[in-house]
Amino acid sequence: MDVLHAAGVRFAAVLQTGPPWLEKFWISVTSLADPKCIFTVCFPLAYFLDRKVGVSVLWIGLVSEWLNVVLKWFLFGERPFWWVHESGLASKEPILLRQFPVSCETGPGDPSGHCMITGAALWPLVTALTALASQHSRSLLVKLTPFCAYALLLLAVGLSRVFVLAHFPHQVVGGILAGAALGWGLQDRTPVARSAGFFMATALALLLSSLGLHSLLMATGIDIDW
């Protein structure tokens, strides 16, 4: 893993050598793609456009947020900002890295939550836009535009997370693949007919199960807060 981590740090160093305007772009992307935006921005907009799509965004965002936390506890995953010093790589070779206000994230980093949760929750919105485009145009380019935009967005989010030293490239790739798979798998299993109380109860159940799993892992001697 050290070889993979070292390659990821070098890739981040190359990304950080870009022009100042590109730096502002990466910072903006990583801030706007924060998972909480799924609940505060994407869900209300999707719900306003189509109730079923909105509920799917909320449901998949809820499940993917929980699953990302659980996966991080089992996969652990270093953070580049901390690893480059703890591994001794910074003292072995001259690597010029910059720190940003969003660099010092703590906790396990695998898979990337930004990529996984965004990729999963936006899947129903993208498929709905693709279906809408197919109804109004026979052009393959028009039909593929939503998915192309989706792919470019996830690529930008992933690169931004590497840029700010929050994740290694392989953690970003894992997050994107997990998010797309989760969105595809859960879209047709969204409990659309359920009331708001069901979603509140589900959120509470997921929260309590996370706390229980956390306590169980700590009790068995696994320090997931390392």
Write out the chain in H/E/C secondary structure: CHHHHHHHHHHHHHHCCCCHHHHHHHHHHHHHCCCHHHHHHHHHHHHHHCHHHHHHHHHHHHHHHHHHHHHHHHHCCCCHHHHHHHCCHHHHCCCCCCCCCCCCCCCCCCCCHHHHHHHHHCHHHHHHHHHHHHHHCCCHHHHHHHHHHHHHHHHHHHHHHHHCCCCCHHHHHHHHHHHHHHHHHHHHHCCCCCCHHHHHHHHHHHHHHHHHHHHHHHHCCCCCCC
Report how many domains make up the chain.
Answer: 1
Q: Looking at residue 194, what is its pLDDT?
A: 84
Any idea which residues carry the catalytic annotation? Answer: 114, 167
**In the chain, what percentage of residues exceed pLDDT 90?**
49
84 found inside a domain: yes
- Assess if residue 54 is contained within a domain: yes
- Is residue 225 domain-resident? no
In this model, does residue 2 exceed pLDDT 90? no
Residue 25 within a domain: yes
Is the pLDDT reported for residue 192 higher than 90? no
Average pLDDT over residues 23-40: 91
Q: Average of pLDDT values for 1-20? A: 87
Q: How confident is the model at residue 153 (pLDDT cuts 50, 70, 90)?
A: very high
Would residue 35 count as lying in a domain? yes
**Is 153 among the domain residues?**
yes
On whether residue 226 sits in a domain, the answer given is no
Structural domain range at position 87: 1-220
pTM, to two decimals: 0.90
